[in-house]
Amino acid sequence: MNYCYRVRRLLPNLFSGLLFWVILMNASHGLGEPVILAFGDSLTAGFMVDAKDSYPARLQRLLDGKGYHYKVINAGVSGDTTAGGVRRIDWVLQHEPEIVIVELGANDGLRGLPIDEMRKNLGLIIEACQKKGAKVLLAGMEITPNLGAEYSREFKESFTLLAEQYNVPLIPFFLENVAARPELTRADGIHPLAKGYAIATQTVFKYLESMLKK
């Protein structure tokens, strides 16, 4: 009887303590830095460069140096297509990002996949982000005309059309001043070397800065 009485006396205190920790954990979560999610393929993942040289890592250092308090998460997967992006977007949105930089489509173009499907997939990704309240920065891509001038033109125009449709800012070409420059890319003319990523990071920041807050 004495044991049961002591337990009944302790229960309110245990409940109060548990409630305090729940409130504290929620408050701590709310005090965290807002997240910028770098969502893309190998160009985001940092193919064949040190992790510190990838554009998300460089962007983190650039933001820190300029006094912007954000946490940049690298959600790049080498070889990913826009269809792969659709399959995993809901999972990575668990990070509750404030901004998502969507860099996908290059692998669709390299494989000659239907442009309508690519555009549809990118639209679904943008919609998923906006549904979660995240702002989207869309990174445009270009491809060489080996699949035909019309395919290349429609591919490039798709990003502009999507930016207009969803009212999101657009980086016209993610690899501006980098692609096809042998001193800045690997032999394929696409994947940046470390110094190529330095330029790509500045390109991203140029269009990202207006979306940031201090």
Q: In the block, which residue shows the tokens 């893309």?
A: 40
Computed on alpha carbons and rounded to an integer, the radius of gyration of the chain in Å comes to 22
Q: In the block, which residue shows the tokens 């269809």?
A: 83
Find the catalytic residue in 28, 41, 42, 95. Answer: 42
Residue 139 dihedral angles phi and psi, to the nearest 5°? -95, 120
Active site (annotated) includes residue 191: yes
Q: Say if CB 195 and CB 49 are below 8 A apart.
A: no
What is the DSSP track for 87-152? Answer: HHHHHHGGG--SEEEEE--HHHHHTT--HHHHHHHHHHHHHHHHHTT-EEEEEP----GGG-HHHH
Per the rule left: phi > 0, alpha: psi between -120 and 50, beta: everything else, 121 is: alpha
Determine the Cα–Cα distance for residues 201 and 197; give it in Å rounded to an integer: 6
Active site (annotated) includes residue 116: no
Find the catalytic residue in 64, 90, 116, 188. Answer: 188
Active site (annotated) includes residue 78: no
Determine the Cα–Cα distance for residues 26 and 111; give it in Å rounded to an integer: 45
**DSSP-assigned beta bridge partners for residue 138:** 102, 170
Active site members: 42, 188, 191
